[in-house]
Copies of this chain bind each other. A is one copy, B any other.
Amino acid sequence: MKIIVCGGDGFCGWPISLHLSARGHEVVIVDTLVRRAADRELGVDSLTPIRALDERLAAWRAVSGWSIPWHAIDLAHAYDDLLALLVRERPDAVVHLAEQRAAPYSMKSPRHKRYTVDNNVNATHNLLCAVVESGIDSHVVHIGTMGVYGYGSGGGTMIPEGYLAVEVPTADGQGRIEREILHPTDPGSIYHMTKCLDQQLFYYYNKNDKLRVTDLHQGVVWGTNTAETRLDDRLINRFDYDGDYGTVLNRFLMQAAVGHPLTVHGSGGQTRAFIHIQDTVRCLSLALENPPQRGERVRILNQMTETHRVIDLARMVSAMTGADIQHLDNPRNEASRNELPAVARSLISLGLEPTHLQEGLLEEVIGVARAYAHRCDKSRIPCTSKWTTS
C-alpha cells in the first residue's frame, strides 16, 4: 500500500511511519515540524536526543533500505499543496496525526486554545475536502482519544466502540424506539473538544461523500521505543516529560529515574485508558490492512489495552523504584474520581496481542530515562496550564 502519514515526525507518527515502512508499505511523511517548534516555545526538549527529520530518514534508509520522502505541508493552511500531493501520490490511505495533541497545551492561554481549534479543525476538514476533490478513494485513518467520552463518573454504563444503542420515546410518548447513535461526547479540554469536532466531520463526509474513515480512539500512550526505533540510535523516538506534552505514566517513570517525586494531581482517583507505543504502531497497521468498504459507516475503534487509576500507577512505580509520591492541586476541571469501563475488542479481533503493563517494559522506559537524565530540565516538570481562571 502507499500510505501518507501526516504528522510523521511526532511521538506516534514517527514509529508508525517506520513500522509501516518495515512492513513493506510505501510511506510518505507530511510534517511541518511544528511539534519541535512547540518544544522551543515551551523551552523544553525531548528527553531523548531525537535527530533532525532528514537525519532520521537517512538513518532509516541506511538501516532498512527503504526511502521515506518527506513534505513540509501545513494541512490546516496549505490546501492546494495538500491536494496536489494527493493527486500526485494517489495514496491508498492517509494517516492523519497532524493535530495539536496535548490537553494542557490547549489550555495554556486564549492563543493556545485558538491555535488548537483552528489547526485541528481546519487540518481535518482540509484533508477530507481534498480527498473528495482529488477523486481518490483513500482510506483516512485518524487517531482520536478515549477522552472524547469524558471522564465523568462512569455511572454504570459501558463505553462501546463508537456507536451506542439507545431507546428513545415515540412521538406519542407511549412507546420507545431503538436507535443506534454516535456515542455522546463530553470533552474535558479544548484539545479533547477538537477530537469531538473531528468525529462530526468524519460522520458528515462519510455520509455525504462515502469517504472511508477509521477513527481510533486511543488511550494514553506509554513507552518510547518500538522494534524499529531500537534499530539505530539515530531512530530513537521522542520522550516528552514536561507538564504540557508529557503523559502520565511516562512522566512517573522519568521522575523515578531522575530522582523527582511522582507528581499526582488531586487524589489520583482518575481512571485512564493506556496503550504501549508498540501496540499503537501495531494497531495502525491492523487498521490500515483491514480497511472499511466504500459505503460502510465510519469505523470507530477503541485503541487501548487496559485501564488504571493514576494513583495505582504511581504506587506501582513507587514500589518498583522507591520514589516518593507528591499530591498536587489538580489544574484540570474534572471529576476527582471516575470509572472508565470500555469495550476494546475490535483491534484484538483483527489480530492485536495486547502488551500489558509489566516490569520489564516499565524498566526499559526507566532505563531510557536514566540514560538521558542529564538532558532533563526539572523546572519543566510542573503542569502550569490551568483549566479555569476562577
Contact = CB atoms under 8 A, between A and B. Distances in A.
A193 B206 CA distance: 13
B130 A125 contact: no
Interface string A181-201: 110111111100100110011
Interface string A102-139: 00000000100110011001100110011011010000
A133 B83 CA distance: 37
A168 B177 contact: no
Given A171-B341, A196-B200, A129 B156 contact: no
Interface in A194-218: 196-197, 200-201, 204, 207-209
Contact of A169 (B114, B157, B387): B157
A111 to B, nearest CB: 9
Given A121-B121, A166-B168, A200-B200, A157 B177 contact: yes
Contacts of A193: 200-201, 204
Contact of A110 (B79, B166, B333): B79
A37 B36 CA distance: 40
Contacts of A290: none
Interface-centre pick from A122, A176, A208 (highest chain B CB count, 10 A): A208
A176 B167 contact: yes
Contacts of A182: 184
A350 interface: no
B155 A126 contact: no
Contacts of A348: none
A42 interface: no
A165 interface: yes
A337 B197 CA distance: 29
A187 B168 contact: no
A160 to B, nearest CB: 9
Nearest to A166: B166
Nearest to A133: B110
A182 B185 CA distance: 9
A67 B168 CA distance: 50
A158 interface: yes
A28 B110 CA distance: 24
Contact of A167 (B167, B201, B387, B389): B167
Given A169-B165, A185-B200, A208 B157 contact: no
A262 to B, nearest CB: 27
Of the listed residues A121, A130, A188, the one surrounded by the most CB atoms of chain B closer than 10 A to its CB is A121
A358 interface: no
A129 B158 contact: no
A164 interface: yes
A297 to B, nearest CB: 12
Given A129-B110, A181-B184, A182-B184, A171 B157 contact: yes
Contact of A117 (B125, B130, B164, B188): B125
Contacts of A166: 166-168, 179
B170 A208 contact: no
A388 interface: yes
Nearest to A192: B204
Contact of A208 (B171, B184, B204, B388): B388
A129 B115 CA distance: 12
Given A165-B168, A166-B168, 13 more contacts: A110-B129, A114-B122, A114-B129, A117-B125, A118-B122, A157-B169, A158-B171, A166-B167, A190-B204, A193-B201, A193-B204, A208-B387, A208-B388
20 contacts: A83-B110, A110-B133, A113-B129, A114-B126, A117-B121, A118-B118, A118-B122, A121-B121, A157-B169, A158-B169, A164-B168, A165-B168, A165-B169, A166-B166, A186-B207, A187-B204, A193-B200, A193-B204, A197-B197, A208-B387
